[in-house]
Amino acid sequence: MPDACREALQKQIEFVKQLHFKDRREGINGVEVPYALDRREPNAGKSLAWKWVFPSLRISTDPRILIQRRHHVHPSVFAKHVKKAVERAGINKKVTAHVFRHSFATHLLESGTDIRTVQELLGHNDVRTTQIYTHVLNRNPSGTLSPLDKL
C-alpha cells in the first residue's frame, strides 16, 4: 500500500462503515457472498468484513432472488470518473482504467523491480504475459539493462 494512498483509503473505509451501519438500520440485505459460505454462515454477507470497499451509492434489486442490496460500484461509473479526470487534466490521449495497470507495471520495471515480482503483483500465470510491459523499456524481457547500453 503506497503511503500516498493510505489516508484517502482510510477515509473511504470510514465512509463504507457509516454506509454499512445505515444499511443495517434500514434493513438492507448484505452483499452477495460465495454460495458455500452463505450456506455455512447465512449472515456473513451482512457483516462489515464483506462490505465492498467501493460500494454503489444506490441500492438495487438482485434480479435472481429479488432482494434489495448494495452492490459494488459499476465499472462504467469508474470509467466515467476516469474520463472526467483525464479531461480536467488536459490529457489528449485515450485513457482507460486498464492504462493504470500498464503504468503500474511499467513504473515498477523502470524502477528495477524484478519481473517475477511484477508478474505476481499483476496476477499473471505466465511470465510471458508480464514481458509485454518490457517493450516500452530499453531492456530485454528479463527486465535488465545491458551493460553495453550504459556505455
pLDDT in tens, 48-70: 999 999 999 999 998 888 889 99
pTM of the model: 0.69
Q: Which residue type is seen at 48?
A: L
Contact 50, 44 (CB under 8 A): yes
* Nearest residue to 51 (alpha-carbon basis) of 17, 100, 98: 17
Q: What are residue 61's DSSP bridge partners?
A: 68
The whole-number pLDDT of residue 137 equals: 67
Contact 32, 62 (CB under 8 A): yes
Q: Which residue type is seen at 109?
A: L
